[in-house]
Amino acid sequence: MADTEGMKDSHNYHLDTPQENEVFTLKGCNSLDWGMKNRLSNIFDAQSDRTVMLAVDHGYFMGPTTGLERIDIRINPLLGYADTLMCTRGVLRSMTPPSYTRGIVLRASGGPSILKEMSNEHIAVNMEDALRVNASAVAVQVFIGGEYETQSVNNMTRLVDAGNRYGMPVLSVTAVGRDMVRDAKYMRLATRMCAELGCAYVKTYYVDDFETVTASCPVPIVIAGGKKLPELDALTMAHNAIQQGASGVDMGRNIFQSDAPAAMIQAVRKVVHEDMPPKEAFELYETLKNAAG
Ligand code: 5RP
């Protein structure tokens, strides 16, 4: 029997206080559904609306890339510093501790290795499996201007449709072919196409006139780090991208191939979330590196 005796019967409906309607401030994302926004909140920091994604998915087409030979040894100690881990489902299930509760961006396209035509990718994960591993977004490579351009765009739009059914954001990764010019004109075309076709956010490379790329893309842009650079140069690139409208980095080799990956990712965080100037961030990197011995 319900225990109703002595039940408190005084209500406060706060009649003079209108219900709060929180605006979701992440660029271009306010009209998304609740589940989609909630997943994006696992990726983008609520204070800065920016993210430091740690990209370790290179093995899906490059094999055991330098620095990723042993994910358990080299990457797992960095997990506490990343807002999000970008990886494949193979690495997630075999080497990522299930106690990790921050965002996971799951690589969802694949097929060819570096030995073949790279743009000939297909969807490599279905939405059900992405949900099963609690992914916060799925990532798909889009090869604008590449040999299999239409196929890769079709991979993306099919994932966007599936993602919209379940509240799963899609990250479009604009892959630039070996022979293509990596400039703002190309990046404007590629990022805008991905946004128009429905992805939640886009990953691209930092180029000159980057502010025109971010200005003409209606959803957040994160930058890839690219090949390993000296630490100060990588921090400068991240700083310039953020100051020119990027919403974060999805950085791999410039973190895990650094002499001091933990120091580097902490310095990158300062640049991304606190607008720290690159020289100051580099000093922090050196201090943390020396303290670690
Ligand atoms: C592979 C990817 C990688 O995640 C991406 O290139 C980021 O890593 P890096 O900073 O090493 O370039 O999307 O296609």
Question: Tens place of pLDDT for every residue, the chain, 293 residues?
Answer: 566 677 777 899 999 999 998 899 999 999 999 999 999 999 999 999 999 999 999 999 999 999 999 999 999 999 999 999 999 999 999 999 999 999 999 999 999 999 999 999 999 999 999 999 999 999 999 999 999 999 999 999 999 999 999 999 999 999 887 777 889 999 999 999 999 999 999 999 999 999 999 999 999 999 999 999 999 999 999 999 999 999 999 999 999 999 999 999 999 999 999 999 999 999 999 999 999 97
**Any ligand 1 atom below 6 A from CB of 253:** yes
Q: Answer for the pair 56, 75: CB distance below 8 angstroms, yes or no.
A: yes
pLDDT of residue 176: 82
Active site residue 203: yes
- Rounded to two decimals, the pTM is 0.95
pLDDT of residue 2: 65
**String of b and e for 119-135 (b: at least 16 CB within 10 Å)?**
bebebbbebeebeeeeb
**Any ligand 1 atom below 6 A from CB of 112:** no
The active-site residue, picked from 116, 185, 203, 227, is 203
> Alpha-carbon distance 54 to 78, whole Å?
9
- Ligand 1 pocket: which of 84, 221, 250, 257 to mutate (most atoms <8 Å of CB)? 250
Q: Under DSSP, is residue 9 helix (H, G, I), strand (E, B) or coil?
A: coil
Q: Answer for the pair 17, 115: CB distance below 8 angstroms, yes or no.
A: no
Beta strands 137-142 and 170-174 are parallel
Residue nearest to atom 8 of ligand 1 (CA): 252
CA-based nearest residue to 191, from 179, 207, 117: 207
**Any ligand 1 atom below 6 A from CB of 173:** yes
Token pair 């271009």 is at which residue?
A: 28
**Any ligand 1 atom below 6 A from CB of 251:** yes
pLDDT of residue 3: 67
**Any ligand 1 atom below 6 A from CB of 57:** yes
Calculate how far, in angstroms, residue 173's C-alpha sits from the geometric centre of ligand 1: 9
pLDDT of residue 272: 98
Residue nearest to atom 12 of ligand 1 (CA): 226
> Alpha-carbon distance 174 to 203, whole Å?
6
Reduce the secondary structure of the chain to three states and give it as a string: CCCCCCCCCCCCCCCCCCCCCCCCCCCCCCCCCHHHHHHHHCCCCCCCCCEEEEECCCHHHHCCCCCCCCHHHHCHHHHHHCCEEEECHHHHHHHCCCCCCCEEEEECEECCCCCCCCCCCEECCCHHHHHHCCCCEEEEEECCCCCCHHHHHHHHHHHHHHHHHHCCCEEEEECCCCCCCCCHHHHHHHHHHHHHCCCCEEEECCCCCHHHHHHCCCCCEEEECCCCCCHHHHHHHHHHHHHCCCCEEEECHHHHCCCCHHHHHHHHHHHHHHCCCHHHHHHHHHHHHHHHC
Calculate how far, in angstroms, residue 34's C-alpha sits from the geometric centre of ligand 1: 29
> Alpha-carbon distance 102 to 287, whole Å?
27
Token pair 């740690």 is at which residue?
A: 54
Closest atom of ligand 1 relative to the 60 alpha carbon: 1
Calculate how far, in angstroms, residue 221's C-alpha sits from the geometric centre of ligand 1: 14
**Any ligand 1 atom below 6 A from CB of 86:** yes
Closest atom of ligand 1 relative to the 250 alpha carbon: 7
Closest atom of ligand 1 relative to the 57 alpha carbon: 4
**E strand or H helix that includes residue 284:** helix 278-292
Q: Under DSSP, is residue 43 helix (H, G, I), strand (E, B) or coil?
A: coil
Calculate how far, in angstroms, residue 203's C-alpha sits from the geometric centre of ligand 1: 9
**Any ligand 1 atom below 6 A from CB of 269:** no
| Beta bridge partners of residue 55, listed in sequence order | 86
Calculate how far, in angstroms, residue 251's C-alpha sits from the geometric centre of ligand 1: 7
